[in-house]
């Protein structure tokens, strides 16, 4: 198999070249020491061996809070007309690429979301291989996701560069002076045992109804929202509208929601579909691991490990999978 080889010392040139197409963003460390996706000012800022950023790249596609409609008496509701800036998102790990593929199916499926489309079209994805740690369990960190415009796989002294998109093929052609050909054997696919178990659970529709873990989760959960903020595939949002001080115009916006919040299942009159935390955990489990609606049977979990890292009380839904399967009649 022929792939293109980029030497370590050409990385700076690659970044310079990429910067011509848009603002270069990638994993960087904030002044407080948090690893985040953000604008890359210098090559040295880039964290090439970062395990995971606090928030996944979904923030570029579905911002935490976003105006979705403007209202005026004359024009009614109209879509905000600002354009999305071109962004080169560098260093996106396979789990996060899978997360974006999932969001694409949700937001660009049967009824495309025009604001999501606007941001998605303005982003060039440059993937990067990574080393798993004790928190994560993606399908295969060597398996190259198909939605990366460029994918860089760490090898000795450099990277193997490949692409899964037609946009990427054009980019590789433009990069030719930096690349050389290298013949290597395709790497064997490896799948983490946790992900194998997760897929099995989804296939069988297991829900562990009698597990004592549910009560254990519900008792400890602070409903702080970190698990969904940091999840690459949590896309639930709330929609609100605020009138302006002029008394006639208004803004409608959406903001990230979490299924462990009371308001998530609350409807007019104060009735709630999921009045207690235990029911909310069941719901979270169903959506995250078994999928529903058009994505039924598709686990949304990409194994990035963020929810296990960020929970202040150490709740880990995957503990359910270490139990036996549902009791069969």
Partner 1 sequence: MTRPALAIAGLTACFGCQLTFLNCEAELPTLAECFDFTYFPMGNSRHDIGGEFSAALVEGAVSTPDDLETLIRLRSRSRTLIAFGTCARWGGVAAMNNHLSRDAMAESVYGKEAVLTGSFNPGPLDRFVTVDFSITGCPPEKNELLATLAALLHGTLPVFPQYPVCIECRNRECLCLLMERGEPCLGPITQAGCNARCPAVSIKCEGCRGPVTEANVASELEMLQEKGISREELIRRMRRFYPEWDYGQRA
CB-nearer residue toward partner 1: 2 or 31: 31
> In the 3-class helix/strand/coil scheme, how is 212-279 assigned residue by residue?
CHHHHHHHHCCCCCHHHHCCCCCCCEEEEEEECCCCCCEEEEEEECCCCCHHHHECHHHCECCCCHHH
Q: What does DSSP assign to residue 202? A: H
Cα 22 from Cα 131, distance rounded (Å): 28
Shortest distance in whole angstroms from residue 86 CB to partner 1: 22
Shortest distance in whole angstroms from residue 108 CB to partner 1: 24
Q: What does DSSP assign to residue 49? A: T
Shortest distance in whole angstroms from residue 117 CB to partner 1: 23
Neighbour-count burial of 279, counting CB atoms closer than 10 A to its CB (0-12 exposed, 13-18 middle, 19+ buried): middle
Q: What is the contact surface with partner 1 in residues (CB under 8 A)?
A: 30, 32-34, 36, 54-55, 64-65, 219-226, 229-230, 240, 242-247, 250, 256, 258, 261-263, 276-277, 310, 312-313
Cα 25 from Cα 89, distance rounded (Å): 5
Cα 326 from Cα 150, distance rounded (Å): 42
Query: Which backbone phi and psi does 322 adopt, to 5 degrees?
Result: -80, -10
CB-nearer residue toward partner 1: 3 or 119: 119
Cα 307 from Cα 228, distance rounded (Å): 7
Helices 213-220 & 277-285 angle (0-180, nearest 10) = 120
CB-nearer residue toward partner 1: 138 or 309: 309
Residue 10 contacts residue 157 (beta carbons within 8 Å): no
User: Strand 250-256 to strand 35-39: parallel, antiparallel, or no bridges (unpaired)?
Assistant: unpaired
CB-nearer residue toward partner 1: 204 or 219: 219
Residue 18 contacts residue 34 (beta carbons within 8 Å): no
Shortest distance in whole angstroms from residue 82 CB to partner 1: 20
CB-nearer residue toward partner 1: 210 or 241: 241
Structure tokens at 191: 């799948």
Shortest distance in whole angstroms from residue 162 CB to partner 1: 30
CB-nearer residue toward partner 1: 188 or 247: 247
CB-nearer residue toward partner 1: 203 or 220: 220
């Amino acid at each position: 198999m022929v792939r293109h080889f980029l030497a370590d010392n050409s990385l700076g040139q690659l970044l310079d070249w990429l910067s011509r197409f848009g603002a270069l963003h990638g994993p960087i460390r904030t002044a407080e020491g948090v690893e985040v996706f953000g604008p890359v000012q210098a090559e040295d800022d880039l964290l090439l061996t970062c395990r995971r950023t606090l928030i996944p790249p979904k923030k570029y596609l579905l911002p935490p809070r976003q105006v979705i409609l403007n209202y005026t008496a004359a024009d009614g509701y109209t879509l905000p007309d600002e354009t999305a800036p071109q962004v080169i998102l560098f260093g996106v790990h396979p789990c996060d690429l899978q997360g974006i593929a999932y969001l694409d199916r949700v937001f660009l499926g049967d009824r495309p979301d025009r604001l999501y489309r606007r941001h998605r079209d303005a982003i060039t994805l440059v993937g990067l291989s990574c080393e798993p740690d004790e928190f994560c369990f993606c399908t295969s960190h060597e398996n190259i996701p198909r939605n990366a415009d460029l994918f860089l796989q760490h090898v000795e002294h450099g990277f193997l560069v490949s692409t899964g998109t037609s946009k990427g093929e054009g980019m590789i052609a433009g990069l030719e002076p930096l690349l050389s050909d290298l013949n290597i054997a395709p790497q064997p696919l490896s799948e983490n045992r946790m992900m194998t178990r997760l897929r099995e659970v989804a296939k069988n529709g297991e829900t562990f109804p009698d597990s004592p873990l549910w009560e254990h989760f519900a008792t400890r959960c602070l409903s702080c929202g970190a698990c969904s903020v940091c999840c690459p595939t949590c896309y639930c949002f709330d929609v609100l509208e605020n009138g302006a001080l002029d008394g006639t115009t208004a803004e409608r916006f959406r903001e990230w929601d979490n299924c462990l919040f009371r308001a998530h299942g609350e409807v007019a009159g104060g009735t709630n579909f999921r009045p207690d935390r235990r029911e909310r955990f069941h719901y979270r489990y169903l959506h995250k691991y078994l999928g529903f609606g058009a994505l039924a049977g598709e686990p949304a979990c990409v194994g990035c490990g963020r929810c296990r890292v960020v929970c202040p009380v150490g709740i880990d839904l995957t503990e359910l999978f270490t139990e036996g399967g549902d009791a069969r009649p």
